[in-house]
Chain A
Amino acid sequence: MKQRKSLDWNFTVEASTYTILAIAVIFTSFPILWGLTTSFKPLDQINVFPPTLFPKPVVFDSYIKVLFRSNFKVYLFNSIFMTGFTVLVSTALASHAGYALARFKIPHRKNIMFALLMMGMVPIVALLIPLYLLSVQTGLYNTRLVILLIYVAWRTPIMTWILYGFFSQAPIEIEEAARIDGCTPVATFYKIMLPISQSGLVSSALLSAVFVWNDFLIAFTFTTKENLRMVSVGLYNYITQYGIIWGELMAAAIVSIIPMIVLFILMQRKFVSGLASGAVKG
């Protein structure tokens, strides 16, 4: 009887949990669903009362305009390039720095760590004007290089801090065993520590990728050239001075979230294990 009551209680808890989760999923995914259906609606059906969820008929005009009759594919390429490059360079720099800080006896290590953390706390908007003036004076304004430099400089400190936490928690015995087997400190880092730290590297890299992909401020401020624009700025183009082009805006938004969704699906397992092992807890 007692066991039956316990089973009932467990079932109730489980059912409630799933119900709440289902509501949460519907609640959070509804705007995306609405955007998706709007992107398939004919122009004159986007603003109607009462509103309709499903398009009748389904048209692909908005996607055709976004993908083939605008510069959106250029923006997509730029975003993918900038994000990929930033993640690669930042991860390379941050992993070396994080490991060195975690394992080597570096004077003022705590102060350096504190400084790194503080650098990550400075809002980018506070640096915008000096960076802008600097980029104009150095002739780097309106180049990919300046945007990449800023992104790398922006993301590397916080990634170093995250990876420092991850390397610090890694068992030192593995490194000691490698040393006994004849590994140099450098070889230990590349052959032992990096492979076993994949989940931490992936987690911090993914977080940085999302930051760069979603950034508007830097992408907008440091270029006025059409061929250098990124997706975040390109989306803004659909909010025109004459009105909002809802169909194309929604189609472009859907297209722009696909790379991030694919990235998360591919990296999901490592990302979750990185989160669980404290890689992003510092």
Chain B
Amino acid sequence: MTMMVAGASMLFAGGSAETSQESQGIDMVFWIFLNPESTEDPRSIVLKEIVEEYNANNPYGNTITVESIHWSRFEAQAIQAAAAKSGPDIINMYSDQLKQHIAGGTVQAMTKYAEDFLATIPDYVYTVDSLKINGDIYSLPWESRTFVHWYRSDIFNRAPASLEDLADRSGKESDANMMGFVIGLSDGSNAASFMESFIPLIRSAGGDLFDSNGKAIFNSEAGVKVLEYLKSLIAKNAMNSASLSLVVDDIIDGFKAGTIYSMNAGTQRAAAIRQSSLNNHIESAPIPGFVEGTPAPALVAGQTLGIGKFAKDPAMAFDFIKYFYSVENQTKWLKANVLPARADVYNDSGIKQLPNYDELKMWNEYAATGSVTFYPDDYTEMAVRLAKAAQEAIFRNTPAKKALDEVANWYNNK
């Protein structure tokens, strides 16, 4: 009977068979998008290795428990937990969403820990100043994904030299079933596909989304130039009105299937892209710019690690974070096609022998032409409005300036 009661209580409490044991370290919870239980995804395997090695070898006797939270609901889940004064000890965040986490109170500043640590790793690709938000460092990027141009080498004999070249050549290859090039103009999935191209293009045109004070300035001549260019893609038949409903996953599926001949997408999607039967004909290159021979400045983003607002012991949480950034662990990430945040990794002999080393190196060099940007906490809402403005300008002939002004005015007058 006693055993039955014990068994039942274990089942309802979550099936944990752990007994309380005296240990010197602390148990910490780590929230991340990756699932260490996956035996297929190379990134998840690397994560599991790193955590298991830390648990086995850290001198404090700490243990890390990974809890995988779905990426699309991560922010909501973390903010909800913080509102209930709970949450993880270590939290993984996209750089794009960092300010949202700060506003939601999910993460705490770790400036002192980070400054001391960064002083010991000179090959870290981000500077202390570039990581500060209102004078504090809240997280450290551990990967530096960038967004590149993917194209079919059996359709195009070389990467486009400029945006105009891309529009001309893609237009010639398009027909009723195939699109030469696509930028997803859907406002679904946080308008990610649109923004991943809009940002490098507006920078190539000499503009940007925000000025140094955080004021929206995308309604500049540069912004208008980008929308006019997108309109020309339709006029030249490079892409068609189907782009209105396409989100980034749809475009990648189309590219893999062979119905889309070129696209812009993040390097983090390389493994998924290369699962295509057309893999032998898939190449990547920097996103072309308006000036021939000069690529658009890279859009760089990445996953970052921070200390949870309600961490049991911030110093111990940072001890794990430091371990995460060792050259050995960063090398493991690169082998799993994740661009690392430490430059020394590229000198590793094992890395140099990887079959896709040249491509990895090219991504890394291209990423160096941009820098990580921490967008405001209402970035997603603005991105969706911006995509809708682009739809208006491209398909309903609303003047590009007017469409962009409306979004910029809404944003700046909030």
Q: Which of B77-85, B323-331, B363-371 contacts A (4 or more CB under 8 A)?
A: B77-85
Cβ distance A219 to chain B, nearest Cβ, rounded Å? 12
Which one of A43, A224, A225 lies within 8 Å of B275 (CB-CB)? A43
Q: Is the CB of A237 within 8 A of B268?
A: no
Residues in chain B near residue A148, CB distance under 8 A: 12
- In the bound complex, what is the Cα–Cα distance between A103 and B287 (angstroms)? 75
Does A244 make an interface contact (CB < 8 A)?
A: yes
Q: Is the CB of A132 within 8 A of B40?
A: no
Q: Is the CB of A141 within 8 A of B86?
A: yes
Q: Which of A45-53, A111-119, A158-166, A172-180 contacts B (4 or more CB under 8 A)?
A: A45-53
Which one of B35, B84, B177, B279 lies within 8 Å of A136 (CB-CB)? B84
Does B69 make an interface contact (CB < 8 A)?
A: yes
A-B contacts at CB below 8 angstroms, number: 99
Interface centre among A47, A51, A144 (most CB of B within 10 A): A47
| Interface range on chain A (Cβ under 8 Å from partner) | 35 or more
Does B41 make an interface contact (CB < 8 A)?
A: yes
Q: Is the CB of B67 within 8 A of A226?
A: yes
Residues in chain A near residue B39, CB distance under 8 A: 65, 69-70
Cβ distance A107 to chain B, nearest Cβ, rounded Å? 36
Q: Is the CB of A224 within 8 A of B67?
A: yes
Chain B interface, number of residues (Cβ within 8 angstroms): 46
Q: Is the CB of A133 within 8 A of B275?
A: no
Residues 8-60 (chain A) with a chain B CB within 8 angstroms: 43-45, 47-49, 51
Q: Is the CB of A226 within 8 A of B272?
A: no
Beyond A136-B86, A226-B67, A227-B14, whether A242 also contacts B272 by CB under 8 A is: yes
Can you identify 26 A-B contacts, CB atoms within 8 angstroms? A47-B276, A48-B257, A48-B258, A49-B258, A81-B11, A129-B83, A132-B84, A136-B84, A136-B86, A137-B84, A143-B13, A144-B11, A145-B13, A220-B70, A220-B73, A221-B77, A224-B67, A224-B77, A226-B67, A227-B14, A227-B16, A233-B70, A237-B68, A240-B71, A242-B271, A243-B269
Using CB atoms and an 8 Å cutoff, list the residues of chain B in contact with chain A. 11-16, 31, 33, 35, 37-41, 67-73, 77, 80-81, 83-86, 177, 249, 252-254, 256-259, 268-269, 271-273, 275-277, 279
Using CB atoms and an 8 Å cutoff, list the residues of chain A in contact with chain B. 43-45, 47-49, 51, 65, 69-71, 81, 129, 132-133, 136-137, 141-145, 148, 220-221, 223-228, 233, 236-237, 239-244, 246
